[in-house]
Amino acid sequence: MRCLVTGGAGFIGSNLVEALLGRGDDVVVLDNFATGRRENLADVEQWARAGGGRFTLIEGDVRDRDTVARAVEGVEVVFHQAALPSVARSVDDPLSSHKVNVTGTLHLLLEARDRGVRRFVAASSSSLYGESPTLPKVETMPREPISPYGLDKAAAETYCVLFHRLYGLETVALRYFNVFGPRQDPASDYAAVIPKFTTSRLRGEPAPVNGDGSQTRDFTFIENVVRANLLAAEAPAEACGEFYNIACGERISLLDLVDAIGEVIGRRIEPVFRPPRPGDIQHSLADISKAGRLLGYHPTVDLAAGLQRTVAWFERQVEA
């Protein structure tokens, strides 16, 4: 199968590229390296040899329609992972967030429709649920985003649903909940908490906690997310035109997470508290029964196992 992975040099995208090449698919990556990293694709030839797939890199931007058209040509499945991520970044710069996350998605949907793509799998986000106190989050709940990023993701997945209903394009939107794992960048100002906590401890520094640390999250190991994408690409047609929570269905507070990472590393981590970030929600927990029922998705790596594998990867980076 010939696939396009937008944002394929990013954290989630590169792990997906590895899985696709490893099973023998031909993979085209479209990335402008604004947030993706070239080193995430350093082993791409090895992955391709292992599975027999072929790899093509197109350096370009989803905001450029001509570049998108070139990337989609001859593709059977689009895995749309490209985004300008981070709630905090979108609060700082909502216009750029919209152009990448909404306009870029529309460009891809138009080209996928016009070039005969079979299936369009899009990365959405739990951030579109907003600050509703209802837990767990179920797909039938109203979308009430409290950040431009959450609004962008709501608009993008609405486009996916409309393209299925209006044009018959098979679309599936996956609402990711706090993905973590190897290749996640800890250096960015907008980095997720697990790589930040882990690298802080490995450097002997306190872990930076925004707010009081009581906020809870449903952390999802990258392998589960990759598997969800592969399942979404092959799910029956009746699963299309829908959106799905992709998570583990369990939650943990940030302070308990700090302790859990410290246990894996073998040294206690002291938190240092910072002001809450605008647009951040307090609590998050997913109901994943719909994904289980229609996609066959069930998490295979829980938080404890994921932390073990993630910490081991970051330790290797520090030693290298």
CA distances from 115 to 17, 108, 185, 230 (A): 22, 10, 34, 21
141 burial (CB, 10 Å; 0-12 / 13-18 / 19+) is middle
**pLDDT tens for each residue of 247-299:** 999 999 999 999 999 999 998 888 889 999 887 889 999 999 999 999 999 99
Instruction: State residue 279's pLDDT score.
Output: 79
Backbone angles phi, psi at 162, to 5 degrees: -65, -40
Separation between Cα atoms, residue 66 and residue 136, nearest integer Å = 41
Beta bridge partners of 243: 173
Q: Is 90 exceeded by the pLDDT of residue 189?
A: no
- Is pLDDT larger for residue 87 or for residue 67? 67
Backbone angles phi, psi at 222, to 5 degrees: -55, -35
Q: How many CB atoms lie within 10 A of CB 45?
A: 11
Which uninterrupted H or E stretch holds 272? strand 271-274
Strand ranges, E, within 126-169 = none
Catalytic residue among 149, 159, 244, 297: 149
Domains and CATH numbers, the chain: 2-177+222-248+287-300 (3.40.50.720)
Instruction: State residue 6's pLDDT score.
Output: 98
Which uninterrupted H or E stretch holds 159? helix 148-167
Number of residues that this document lists for the chain: 320
Single out the residue of 124, 120, 106, 123 nearest to residue 168, CA to CA: 120
Backbone angles phi, psi at 119, to 5 degrees: -145, 140
Mean pLDDT score, 197-222:
91
**pLDDT tens for each residue of 236-261:** 999 999 999 999 999 999 999 999 99
Given its phi and psi angles, is residue 22 left (phi above 0), alpha (psi -120 to 50 degrees) or beta? alpha
Is 149 a catalytic site residue?
yes
When the pLDDT of each residue in the chain is averaged and rounded to a whole number, the result is: 95
Q: How many CB atoms lie within 10 A of CB 177?
A: 26
* Structural tokens at position 266: 């073998």
Separation between Cα atoms, residue 234 and residue 184, nearest integer Å = 27
Q: Is 80 exceeded by the pLDDT of residue 188?
A: no
